Amino acid sequence: MEWSEYRNRIESPEDEYRTNVPALFADPDTFDAFVNDLATELDPSAFDYVARIDAMGFIPGTALARRFGVGFIAVRKDEKLPIREEHRVADTLVDYTGKEKMLEVDTRQVPTDDPILLVDDWMETASQVGTAIDLLERAGGTVGGIALLAAEENETTRRLNDEYGVYSVKSFRE
Ligand SMILES: O=P(O)(O)OC[C@H]1O[C@H](OP(=O)(O)OP(=O)(O)O)[C@H](O)[C@@H]1O
């Protein structure tokens, strides 16, 4: 699907600086097109797990994981995982909002030998994606790619692309 069609779907008349990504998921044809666009860019045999960032990343991440027939790893926000400290890796970050957030992973869910595809909806400063990768690696995992609806192009996202491979429907210039 052309980016203009996605953009029309997610534009927010109420706030021109933000996108309404849930509106994309509400339309079945656009949702299918998004998952298809990502799936055709990716080699399913290259990934044994999909990790998804809470909250919007859970939606395309789940769809892609089921498409590829692989398991899920949840990267959760703000101490929602009901697990003991010994099983948790966590870190704080400041993302595009300027606010501090926390991501956490249950280390028992992270495979040590199988490549992981990390999925989210959007990457701007890449703080959330970068922190999620760090947590997965601290848990012993290997990230083999990053899949998104849209990725801004900047020094950080270029480095992530060089290191892990970024697959996105839309990449923006700085
Ligand atoms: O590149 P960054 O600066 O890290 O920003 C991108 C992140 O921000 C959004 O999450 P947000 O926490 O705003 O919303 P959500 O919980 O609804 O996914 C988006 O889903 C990405 O995870």
Residues 104-163 have pLDDT tens digits of 999 999 999 899 999 999 999 999 999 999 999 999 999 999 999 999 999 999 999 999
Residue 172 has pLDDT above 80, yes or no: no
Task: Measure the CA–CA gap between 89 and 111, rounded to whole angstroms.
Answer: 14
The answer to whether residues 75 and 50 touch, using CB atoms and an 8 Å cutoff, is no
Which numbered atom of ligand 1 lies nearest the CA of 56? 18
> Does domain 45-170 bear CATH number 2.70.98.40?
no
User: What pTM was estimated for this model as a whole?
Assistant: 0.95
pLDDT tens digits, one per residue of 20-66 = 999 999 999 999 999 999 999 999 999 999 999 999 999 999 999 99
Cα of 132 to ligand 1 centre, how many Å? 12
Task: Measure the CA–CA gap between 19 and 23, rounded to whole angstroms.
Answer: 9
Give the residue whose CA is nearest to atom 16 of ligand 1: 55
Cα of 101 to ligand 1 centre, how many Å? 10
Q: Average pLDDT, whole number, for the chain?
A: 95
